[in-house]
C-alpha cells in the first residue's frame, strides 16, 4: 500500500482555496445529488484572524479525512467544503448565500475565527436558513444564541474568569489589562472589571494604537502581570516593546492567541506568556487527544496545537451527533438532532449545554517560557 505523504499548512490552504465559494455551483437545481454529503466550514482569512482559522481548519480537515478513510458517514463520503471569508458581514452573507441552494449541504461546522462565527450566527438568526451551525469558534460571550447555533467551546467570559481566579489564588492583587484596540476595549472592559471586582483584583487598563510603543512605556510602577486582550499579531507587537523593559513581567492571554506562532516568532524571549485554552492540552491522555495526535501526524506536517485540536473536536462532535440521526439525513433531521442538545462525551471532552445554549465550560492554561518551551 502506498502511504501518502503528510501535507503542510501551506499546501492544505492552497487546496482549501479551490473549495471556496465559486465551487458551490454544484447543486443549483435544488435537487439533492447522489455524490455524497457536504459539510461546509466558513473560515476567516483576514490578517487579524488567519492564524486562528488556519489551525482550526487543519484540525477539522484531519478529522473529516479520517472519517472518510474509515468508511464515511453511513457509507457515504463526506465532502468537507471550505468557504473563505474576509470577516466582513458582506462576505459572510455571500458565503451563506452559496450554501442556501445546495441540498447536499447538511450543516455548517467549525466556523472560525470569532468575528466570522459571530457574523454567521447573527445572519442565520436573521435569515432563518434552517441549517445547523455546529461547534463554531465562538468566543463572543454576549451573543444571544438561537436554536440553530451550537457552540461547544468555553467563550471568552469563562476564560477571563479562569485566568483571573488563577491569579487571585496566588495572591495577585493588581493586574494590568492591555486592550489591543478600541474594539477590544469597548467589547470587554465591563465584563473584565466586574470579574476582577468579584475577585478583589485592582485593574489598571492600557490601550494604544502602537502596542510596541505601549510595551516600552510601562514603568517600574506598572503591574508585573498583564492580561492581554487581543490576537496573536497584536501580542507579538506588544511583547517586542516589553523586550526593552528591565522589570520581569508575565503576560496572560486568551484562547485566540497561538502560542506556537509566538514561539516561532521568538515573541516570548524575555516575557513568559500564559494562555487560556478551551480544549485539553495537546499532550493529554484523553482518547480524543490521542486520536488527534495520531491522525495529525499521519495526514499533516504540522505540530499539535490547541486550536487545531479544537477544530478536530468540532468535527468529531458533529460526526457523533450525525451518527445518531433518526431516519434519512436532511437539513431538517440534522438540525432536529442537534436541537436536542444532548450531553455527549467526545473521547473525554464533555459537551453539556446550559441555560444559555452553550455546550462548553472547559478551560485550562499553558505557558510559553522564555527558553521557547510550551508547557501545560
9-153+283-351 CATH pick, 3.40.50.2300, 3.30.470.10, 1.10.286.10, 3.40.50.150: 3.40.50.2300
At residue 362 the predicted structure's pLDDT band, cuts being 50, 70 and 90, is: very high
CB 119 within 8 A of CB 49: no
Cis status of the peptide bond prior to 6, with omega within 30 of 0:
no
Query: Mean per-residue pLDDT for 298-319?
Result: 96
Is 99 or 248 the better-scoring residue by pLDDT?
A: 99
Q: Which residues contact 32 (CB under 8 A, 6 or more apart)?
A: 103, 104
Q: Which of 335, 307, 311, 309 is nearest to 321 (CA)?
A: 335
List pLDDT tens digits, range 218-258: 999 999 999 999 989 899 999 999 987 778 899 999 999 98
DSSP-derived 3-state class of residue 192: helix
Is residue 12 predicted with pLDDT exceeding 70? no
Is residue 8 predicted with pLDDT exceeding 60? no
Other CB atoms within a 10 A radius of the CB of residue 22 amount to 9
Integer angstrom CA distances of residue 332 from 38, 40, 103, 105, 130 = 15, 16, 11, 11, 7
pLDDT value of residue 167: 85
Q: Which three cell numbers stand for residue 165?
A: 481566579
How far is Cα 347 from Cα 269, in angstroms, rounded to an integer? 36
Other CB atoms within a 10 A radius of the CB of residue 214 amount to 19
> Which numeric CATH code is attached to 156-277?
3.40.50.2300
CATH 3.40.50.2300 residue ranges for the chain = 9-153+283-351, 156-277
Map grid coordinates 496566588 to a residue: 170
Contacts 24+ apart (CB under 8 A), 319-326: 319/63, 319/67, 319/73, 320/344, 320/346, 321/134, 322/73, 322/106, 322/107, 323/73
List pLDDT tens digits, range 343-361: 999 999 999 999 899 999 9
- Please report how the helices 156-169 and 182-198 are oriented relative to each other, as an axis angle in degrees rounded to 10: 50
DSSP-derived 3-state class of residue 69: helix
pLDDT value of residue 208: 80
Report strand pairing: 105-109 vs 78-85: unpaired
Q: Which of 355, 343, 331 is nearest to 148 (CA)?
A: 331
Residue 4: exposed, middle, or buried by beta-carbon count in 10 A (0-12, 13-18, 19+)?
Answer: exposed
Is 267 or 285 the better-scoring residue by pLDDT?
A: 285
CB 184 within 8 A of CB 257: no
Map grid coordinates 504540522 to a residue: 302
How far is Cα 376 from Cα 371, in angstroms, rounded to an integer? 15
Amino acid at each position: 500500500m502506498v502511504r501518502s505523504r503528510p501535507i503542510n499548512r501551506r499546501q492544505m490552504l492552497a487546496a482549501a482555496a479551490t473549495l471556496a465559494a465559486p465551487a458551490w455551483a454544484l447543486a443549483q437545481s435544488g435537487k439533492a445529488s447522489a455524490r455524497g454529503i457536504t459539510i461546509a466550514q466558513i473560515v476567516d482569512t483576514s490578517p487579524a484572524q488567519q492564524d486562528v482559522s488556519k489551525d482550526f481548519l487543519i484540525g477539522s480537515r484531519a478529522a473529516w479525512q479520517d472519517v472518510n478513510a474509515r468508511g464515511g458517514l453511513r457509507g457515504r463520503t463526506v465532502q468537507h467544503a471550505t468557504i473563505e471569508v474576509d470577516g466582513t458581514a458582506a462576505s459572510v452573507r455571500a458565503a451563506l448565500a452559496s450554501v442556501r441552494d445546495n441540498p447536499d449541504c447538511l450543516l455548517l461546522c467549525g466556523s472560525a475565527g470569532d468575528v466570522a462565527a459571530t457574523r454567521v450566527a447573527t445572519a442565520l438568526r436573521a435569515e432563518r436558513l434552517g441549517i445547523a451551525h455546529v461547534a463554531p469558534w465562538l468566543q463572543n460571550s454576549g451573543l444571544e444564541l438561537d436554536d440553530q447555533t451550537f457552540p461547544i467551546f468555553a467563550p471568552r467570559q469563562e476564560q477571563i474568569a479562569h485566568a483571573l481566579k488563577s491569579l487571585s489564588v496566588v495572591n495577585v492583587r493588581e493586574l494590568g489589562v492591555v486592550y489591543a484596540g478600541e474594539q477590544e476595549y469597548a467589547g470587554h472592559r465591563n465584563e473584565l472589571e466586574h470579574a476582577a471586582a468579584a475577585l478583589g483584583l485592582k485593574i489598571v487598563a492600557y490601550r494604544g494604537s502602537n502596542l510596541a510603543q505601549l510595551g516600552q512605556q510601562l514603568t517600574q510602577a506598572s503591574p508585573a502581570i498583564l492580561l492581554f486582550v487581543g490576537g496573536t499579531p497584536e501580542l507579538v507587537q506588544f511583547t517586542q516593546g516589553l523586550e526593552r523593559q528591565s522589570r520581569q513581567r508575565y503576560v496572560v492571554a486568551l484562547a485566540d492567541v497561538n502560542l506556537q506562532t509566538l514561539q516561532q516568532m521568538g515573541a516570548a524571549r524575555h516575557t513568559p506568556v500564559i494562555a487560556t485554552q478551551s480544549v485539553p492540552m495537546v499532550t493529554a491522555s484523553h482518547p480524543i487527544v490521542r486520536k488527534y495526535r495520531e491522525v495529525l501526524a499521519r495526514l499533516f506536517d504540522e505540530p499539535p496545537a490547541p486550536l487545531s485540536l479544537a477544530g478536530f473536536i468540532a468535527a468529531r462532535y458533529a460526526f457523533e451527533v450525525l451518527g445518531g440521526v433518526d431516519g434519512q439525513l436532511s437539513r431538517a433531521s440534522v438540525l432536529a438532532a442537534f436541537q436536542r442538545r444532548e450531553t455527549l462525551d467526545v473521547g473525554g471532552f464533555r459537551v453539556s449545554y446550559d441555560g444559555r445554549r452553550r455546550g462548553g465550560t472547559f478551560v485550562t492554561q499553558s505557558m510559553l517560557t522564555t527558553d521557547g518551551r510550551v508547557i501545560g
